[in-house]
């Protein structure tokens, strides 16, 4: 028994000595320097507020106000495309600038993107005002015939020493519902660089924008829905993601809703810019129909097929020459299914003027195949 107790005591002493050597041996080799605690790693907390501030600092200097010169009338109308407000009559009978929309700089040599409906008056004179209130005359306007997009050209030399800061165009092909966004623009035509925040509320929306009583109505397909407040005057301004990259161009609001706005995806804008840079104009393929996309549910309810329902056919267009009629449903374009995720405008935009394409249409319960050659879209 004594031997067992002695053995246990010796074992405990051995373990204690071994533990002491393991713990304090480094002190002997390092001159008994007492080890210091490692500094804690600094973690940067990214909040919605910090993202918004960073976006505004990055993109704000690139956002412009678009002004139109117009003669005052007894009741002057400020045209915001699909929006309209009325100002106080002015007594001066001379040309007066009025802010009508927004835009953003895309190149340091003076190219600015805005909405086509912002500069819809082909006979008007336009100016842009950059963030430091410097004014530039618009020397050329290039209107995209297929999308609500226009490119304005200004001369950077109008203000010597002034540098134009272009935005960074992002990627709209991988957007997610719920993603944080910032909208910047000249709200109500008065408050430049107004900032609002929100999220992407929906993707792939199809809306009819404009006012038929003002003579401007356009079908917009595959647009971004956002709850970031977009007001009259924001049209043409950028929709920005949390990385400070433009992912859309603000273009419309729901008149009977609150915080329901729409923006064209930036990939459409980039395609327009690339097309313009290559040719100096918008040489876009042209079919010659106006249409409404029929979703799967709508097609089932009406006992028809899913596709692009043809509302009108333009006289003399490739569509008319091929035999397409009002009421037809285009179900395939060059072998690809036409649906809400792959709408007709997107499929046409992938082609070039002069391309021969095949179409499958649905008419009176039967399908038939057609072949046509796409033309160059007429300038607008």
In this predicted structure, which of 52-56, 84-88, 290-294 has the lowest mean pLDDT?
84-88
Give me the catalytic one of 55, 144, 148, 328: 148
Per residue in 234-268, pLDDT (tens digit) is 889 999 999 999 999 998 777 666 778 889 999 88
List of residues 6+ apart from 338 with CB closer than 8 A: 293, 306, 307, 308, 330, 331, 332, 344, 347
235 given a catalytic annotation: yes
Q: Which CATH number fits domain 59-86+94-158: 2.60.40.10, 2.40.10.10, 3.40.50.2300, 3.20.20.80?
A: 2.40.10.10
Q: pLDDT tens for residues 276-334? A: 777 666 677 889 888 888 888 888 888 899 999 998 898 899 999 999 999 999 999 99
Active site residue 364: no
Kind and range of the H or E element at 372? Answer: strand 366-373
Query: Out of 55, 62, 102, 117, which one is annotated catalytic?
Result: 117
For domain 285-376, say whether CATH 3.20.20.140 is its number: no
Residue 86's pLDDT is what? 35
Q: What is the CATH number of domain 180-279?
A: 2.40.10.10
Can 334 be counted among the known catalytic residues? Answer: no
State yes or no: pLDDT of 123 exceeds 90: no
Which entry of 62, 102, 172, 235 is annotated as an active-site residue?
235
User: What pLDDT is recorded for position 136?
Assistant: 93
pLDDT for 295: 84
Which of 22-36, 154-168, 219-233, 337-351 is predicted most confidently? 154-168
Residue 76: predicted pLDDT: 41
Min mean pLDDT across 91-100, 203-212, 255-264, 320-329 is at 91-100
As a whole number of angstroms, the distance between CA 230 and CA 253 comes to: 7
Q: Which DSSP letter does residue 169 get?
A: B
**Distance, CA of 88 to CA of 312 (rounded, Å):** 40
Q: Is the pLDDT of residue 145 over 80?
A: no
Contact call for residues 119 and 150 (beta carbons, < 8 A): yes
What does the mean pLDDT of the chain come to? 79
Helix count and strand count (H, E) for the chain: 6, 22
**pLDDT for position 214:** 38
- pTM of the full structure: 0.61
Residue 183: per-residue pLDDT: 92
pLDDT at 31 over 80: no
pLDDT band at residue 232, thresholds of 50, 70 and 90? Answer: confident
pLDDT at 268: 85
- Say whether pLDDT at 8 is over 50: yes
59-86+94-158 and 285-376: identical CATH topology: no
Given a contact cutoff of 8 angstroms between Cβ atoms, the answer to whether 331 and 360 are in contact is yes
Cβ(151)–Cβ(198) below 8 Å: no
> Average pLDDT for residues 146-150, to the nearest whole number?
82
Q: What percent of the chain has pLDDT over 70?
A: 72
At 131, the pLDDT band (50, 70, 90 cuts) reads confident
Q: Where are the domains of the chain?
A: 59-86+94-158, 180-279, 285-376
pLDDT at 116: 87
């Amino acid at each position: 028994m004594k031997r067992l107790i002695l053995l246990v005591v010796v074992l405990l002493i051995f373990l204690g000595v071994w533990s002491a050597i393991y713990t304090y041996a480094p002190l002997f080799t390092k001159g008994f320097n007492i080890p210091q605690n490692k500094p804690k790693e600094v973690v940067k907390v990214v909040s919605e507020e910090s993202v918004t501030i960073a976006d505004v600092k990055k993109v704000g200097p690139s956002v412009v106000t678009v002004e139109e010169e117009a003669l005052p009338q007894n009741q002057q109308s400020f045209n915001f495309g699909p929006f309209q407000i009325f100002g106080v009559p002015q007594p001066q009978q001379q040309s007066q600038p009025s802010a009508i929309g927004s835009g953003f700089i895309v190149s340091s040599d003076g190219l600015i993107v805005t909405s086509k409906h912002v500069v819809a008056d082909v006979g008007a004179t336009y100016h842009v005002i950059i963030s430091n209130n410097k004014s530039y005359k618009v020397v050329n306007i290039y209107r995209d015939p297929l999308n609500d997009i226009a490119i304005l050209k200004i001369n950077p030399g109008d203000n010597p020493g002034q540098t134009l800061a272009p935005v960074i165009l992002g990627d709209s092909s991988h957007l997610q519902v719920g993603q944080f966004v910032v909208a910047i623009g000249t709200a109500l035509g008065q408050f430049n660089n107004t900032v609002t925040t929100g999220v992407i509320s929906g993707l792939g929306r199809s809306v009819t924008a404009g006012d038929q009583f003002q003579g401007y109505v356009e079908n917009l397909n595959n647009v971004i829905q956002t709850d970031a407040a977009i007001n009259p005057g924001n049209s043409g301004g950028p929709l920005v993601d949390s990385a400070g990259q433009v992912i859309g161009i603000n273009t419309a609001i729901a008149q009977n809703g609150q915080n329901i706005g729409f923006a064209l995806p930036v990939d459409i804008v980039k395609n327009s810019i690339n097309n313009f840079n290559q040719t100096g104009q918008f040489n876009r393929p042209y079919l010659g129909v106006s249409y409404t996309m029929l979703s799967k549910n709508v097609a089932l309810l009406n006992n028809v097929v899913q596709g692009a329902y043809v509302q009108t056919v333009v006289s003399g267009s490739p569509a008319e020459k091929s035999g397409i009629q009002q009421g037809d449903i285009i179900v395939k374009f060059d072998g690809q299914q036409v649906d809400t995720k792959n709408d007709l405008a997107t499929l046409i935009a992938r082609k070039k003027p002069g391309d021969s394409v095949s179409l499958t249409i649905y008419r009176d319960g039967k399908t038939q195949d057609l072949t046509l050659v796409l033309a160059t879209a007429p300038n607008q």
